[in-house]
Amino acid sequence: MNTTGIKGILGLLALLFIVNSGLMAQSGTLNGQDSLRRVITTAVPFISFAPDSRASGMGDVGVATSADANSVHWNNGKLAFIDSKFGASISYSPWLATITNDMALYYLSGYYKIDRVQTVAVSMRYFDLGSIQLTDDTGGLLGVDNPREGAVDATYSRKLSENLGIGVTARYIWSNIIGSVSGISQKGTSVAVDVGTYYNKDLHLGRTNANLALGAHVSNIGQKVTYSTDDFKDFIPINLRLGAALKLELDPVNTLTFAVDFNKLMVPTPPIYELDADGNPVYQNGKRVIVRGKDPDRNLISGMFGSFSDAPDGFSEEMAEIMISAGTEYWYRDLFAARAGYFYEAESKGGRKYFTLGVGFRYQKFGVDFSYLIPGEQDHPLAETIRFSLLFDFAKGDTGEDLN
């Protein structure tokens, strides 16, 4: 198959990833030409999907909530504050259930607390895209294949003081989105790091004991991904997450947490390209001519830091690129939890808006969480998204050691 055929398949799969991420506001454009809708797309978006049921039941918040086995994804700086000696979690998320029944995200994580200030963790993520019929650029059938992607992580988290912690994660990412049918594709790979920090402080609000936590996390700082020998490289979803959480001890058996996260992709914003009278791209010196915005073909550092000032419509568009998550969590006797949340994304940047609900149960060393997503519009691809998580924890009482 020729190069055009390769790009055609990649384009179709890129469109599938856009649907996976819920980025439905492009009005059929994939080249950034819609002056009102410039959705930022990346390679391997699965590494930014919310993997667990607790956070996804709270509107996808997690940078400043209390630490658990899934903290590697949300903020590795929290892990140093976890109460248990060691634990693990496994999560399963059927994906795009209203469209297909064989796509799912699997997430496995575990941690070990070395001492009162140090914690290490590992996690693995596997995204199965199900069976896909591949075609070439002429529409010829190439066969059915099963694209899949995955990532493995190793994390170290440490307390710098009784209130402040930091964490660092190393990640290996692989993506086989074309598979072996074409016989000419190669696996896309990348390496990345996450850096996080977490601060929490006990407070007294009148007669109510409380804890205020602040978090910052930059994830997936890594090299671009390519699936061919051409100059066809895409940024991975480098993401900045900032947030806060306030936990209130209403009485000895009831607690209530309010949390909010702000997210921004640290990758280039699509520019506005010049078109000729027939609507075809205009090229100069082999590159498309840009009317507004900046060239997205930049190196890692330039792409990351330039992402705060490269939007064609300036500051207002930069602000529109900030996604907001808000959620609340209620616990009764550390046995039963009820959760609710809301996720907001500007219409021009994808338009994802959804409510979430979740519940959790704990019994001795075991726990289970469920979450359910309710889109803000009918017939949305993310409708009926359900996540399940199983947790296993050894409490500090089982170790005979006061870890904190």
Which residues have a Cβ under 8 Å from the Cβ of 171 and sit 6 or more positions away?
A: 47, 151, 152, 153, 191, 192, 193, 194, 220, 222
Q: For the purposes of burial, counting CB atoms within 10 Å of the CB of 4, is it exposed (0-12), middle (13-18) or buried (19 or more)?
A: exposed
What are phi and psi for residue 80, nearest 5 degrees? -65, -15
Name the least confident of 133-137, 274-278, 400-404.
Answer: 400-404
Return the closest-CA partner of residue 317 out of 354, 296, 347: 347
Could you read off the pLDDT of 52-87 as tens digits, one per residue? 999 999 999 999 999 999 999 999 999 999 999 999
Rg of the chain over all Cα atoms, to the nearest angstrom:
22
Could you read off the pLDDT of 154-197 as tens digits, one per residue? 999 999 999 999 999 999 999 887 655 445 556 788 999 999 99
Percent of the chain's residues with pLDDT above 70: 82
Could you read off the pLDDT of 132-141 as tens digits, one per residue? 766 666 777 7
- Indicate the pTM of the whole model: 0.86
Question: 2 falls in which pLDDT band (50, 70, 90)?
Answer: very low
